[in-house]
Amino acid sequence: MGYRITTYAALQANLSAAGTTVGLCRAALGRLPLSDDERAETTERLRKQMGDLDAMILELSRPGGKQGIPFVRTRRRKTPAPRRNDILSGG
């Protein structure tokens, strides 16, 4: 799976890999000895992921939706503070 999804093919490949992973987890779930806390934590994590999937479905079903919008970096790198040579040189 790749974290930068910029094409339809990459989107489909990532969704396929995610589906395989979910299927494997589901098959193993009944065999795992989970404590009550682990069950609650896993349930909460699944609910969050289902919320993300629901949000994706809503975004795709919106009229017009996001069509052809290029990848945009959502985080900006902080520029480092300027170095002050006079502090380092003692002057």
pTM of the model: 0.61
Does the structure show a pLDDT above 70 at 65?
A: no
Do residues 3 and 25 both lie within one domain? Answer: yes
**More reliable by pLDDT, 46 or 90:** 46
8-12, 54-58, 72-76: the lowest-pLDDT one: 72-76
DSSP symbols for 19-80: HHHHHHHHHHHTTS---HHHHHHHHHHHHHHHHHHHHHHHHHHSSS-S-SPPP---SPPPPP
- The confidence score (pLDDT) of residue 5 equals 85
Are 15 and 41 in a shared domain? no
Whether 37 maps to a domain, the answer reads yes
Q: Do 38 and 53 fall into the same domain?
A: yes
Q: Which domain holds residue 44?
A: 33-62
- The count of structural domains within the chain is 2
Q: At 27, is the secondary structure helix, strand, or coil?
A: helix
pLDDT digit string (tens) for 2-21? 678 889 999 999 999 999 99
Query: Is 74 inside a domain boundary?
Result: no
The answer to the question of residue 85 being in a domain is no
Environment class of residue 69 by beta-carbon count within 10 Å: exposed (0-12), middle (13-18) or buried (19+)?
A: exposed
75 in any annotated domain = no
